Amino acid sequence: MFTGIIERTGTIVSLVDWGGVRRLTVAAPGIAGRLREGDSLAVSGVCLTALDVGPDSLSGELFHADLAAETLARTSLGSLEPGSVVNLELPVEAGRPLGGHIVQGHVDGTGVLVSLEPVVLESSPHFDRSTTDWTLRVLVPEHVRPWMVSKGSVALEGISLTIADFDGEIVAVAILPLTYWRTNLHTLAAGAPVNVEGDLVVKLALAQMVERQDSERLPEYEFTEAWLVAEGF
């Protein structure tokens, strides 16, 4: 389990077809040295298993991971190129504070970055790229949209974020300067694929709601923040 609090970024070294899978190699200073073969970690929100962990004369600390067909189909990892920046997070340790929200690393689908704009206009005399907040907008895959709840949580590229607005297709979130610069967000441009994982709590609530509708033949609920609170979520 992860929290969506990104520890460091890594850099894609290579993506090579390896039998029936695609082998990913990531340069990960500060992370790879803490891994053992078989350990789990999240790479831009995708839970992977570390393989062949060790130093490399050219890239420094690195690890490998095999991408199965399901991972290639559902996430953005297979479309990345050498030099691409990815977000890295190790699993949360028992007893450690849960800083973000429960993130499984099971990406639901790939969205599209619509825009990432500073809150303060660049033409403003007060604009400072290093300190401004940003607004991120992502077009969410249709099958993931039922889990988008205003003021609820969502993991984008593995980052735990709060939904500021959702118009039924596009989710908007506020990005603090620390998040913008510490993650891969500052390297992305409009049109880039974005890994999206819905909030587990919302998924469970929706499943419970649907089950009650089916079993009790109740009228349809309006799935809102107020309903979640009333049901104890």
Q: Express each pLDDT in 116-135 by its tens digit.
A: 999 987 778 888 888 899 99
pLDDT of residue 129: 85
Entry pTM: 0.86
Terminal Cα-to-Cα distance of the chain (whole angstroms): 19
pLDDT of residue 98: 76
Centre a 10 Å sphere on the Cβ of residue 150 and count the other Cβ atoms it contains.
Answer: 13
Q: Which residue has the tokens 């090579």?
A: 16
pLDDT of residue 128: 87
Q: Say which CATH topology domain 109-199 has.
A: Elongation Factor Tu (Ef-tu); domain 3 (2.40.30)
Q: Which residue has the tokens 């028992």?
A: 94
pLDDT of residue 223: 59
Query: Do 80 and 109 contact (CB within 8 A), yes or no?
Result: no
What residue spans define the domains of the chain? 8-89, 109-199, 200-233
Q: What is the CATH number of domain 8-89?
A: 2.40.30.20
pLDDT of residue 233: 63
Distances, alpha carbon 106 to alpha carbons 15, 209, 233, in Å: 20, 22, 21
233 residues of the chain, pLDDT tens digit each: 899 999 999 999 999 998 888 999 999 999 988 999 999 999 999 999 999 887 764 556 899 999 999 999 999 998 999 999 999 999 988 777 778 898 999 999 999 999 999 998 777 888 888 889 999 999 999 999 999 998 999 999 999 999 999 999 999 999 999 999 999 999 999 999 999 999 998 888 877 777 666 656 555 555 566 666 666 66
